[in-house]
Chains A and B, each alone.
Chain A
Amino acid sequence: NAGVTQTPKFQVLKTGQSMTLQCAQDMNHNSMYWYRQDPGMGLRLIYYSASEGTTDKGEVPNGYNVSRLNKREFSLRLESAAPSQTSVYFCASLDTGGHTEAFFGQGTRLTVV
């Protein structure tokens, strides 16, 4: 049972390049989330998907897009990377909204130069 699988683990981009972070969960969870974590700021929600076919903006959505491809997969896309997007990105999934344990991927360390 893999839980939440997130790829890649590390990435360096040049300003203006695009990339997609992949996330898949095998726990049949309805809700999936993308967070970024910066030093001293905790986890900030970028986008979330409460169920297959729906996505909603979180606290810091600018510069990102998401796709809930199916119940298992939720991808995060940076269309034109900026240095301000240098961060650690975590994907998470929940069985129901906010009342059970959140399971996380191992994180993606992204540097934009």
Chain B
Amino acid sequence: RKEVEQDPGPFNVPEGATVAFNCTYSNSASQSFFWYRQDCRKEPKLLMSVYSSGNEDGRFTAQLNRASQYISLLIRDSKLSDSATYLCVVDSNYQLIWGAGTKLIIKP
């Protein structure tokens, strides 16, 4: 089993819709969780950190479920510019373990 697993997608979503995807992790001792965004042929960039109580940044909401060992990302009122690959990142023994990413395509 991979340490961090994501549905690769692609998720094809109409503009304005709400989309959510999950990421599961295997190391129950992990303390830090992140969502990164990666545009085609570009470097990853931090989208948001994921806190135990859940957190929101504009149209984006991140949740952590420690009991089931997954994190989620919800995007509301999706925009064409949200099209990208979303990478789930979990720290494990002070290293960052990266999911393979979920590709999101927003259609007009």
The residues of A with any CB-CB pair to B shorter than 8 Å are 33, 35, 40-45, 48, 50, 58, 90, 94, 97-99, 101-102, 104-107
Measured CA separation A101–B43 after assembly (Å): 13
In the bound complex, residues from chain A placing their C-beta under 8 Å from that of B87 are 42-43
Q: Enumerate the 8 nearest inter-chain pairs by beta-carbon distance, A residue then B residue, closest first.
A: A98-B91, A97-B94, A42-B100, A104-B43, A43-B98, A101-B46, A42-B98, A98-B94
Interface flag for B45 (CB, 8 Å) = yes
CB pair B46–A102 under 8 Å, yes or no, is: yes
Provide the B68-108 mask, 1 if CB < 8 A to any CB of A, else 0: 00000000000000000001010110111011110000000
CB pair A98–B44 under 8 Å, yes or no, is: no
> A48 with B32: in contact, given A40-B100, A104-B44, A106-B43 (CB under 8 Å)?
no
Interface flag for B14 (CB, 8 Å) = no
**Main DSSP-derived SS at the A contact region:** loop
CB pair B95–A45 under 8 Å, yes or no, is: yes
The residues of B with any CB-CB pair to A shorter than 8 Å are 4, 8, 31-32, 34, 36, 41-46, 49, 87, 89, 91-92, 94-96, 98-101
Measured CA separation A35–B95 after assembly (Å): 12
CB pair B101–A48 under 8 Å, yes or no, is: no
CB pair A41–B100 under 8 Å, yes or no, is: yes
Least Cβ distance of A1 to chain B in Å?
15
CB pair B101–A42 under 8 Å, yes or no, is: yes
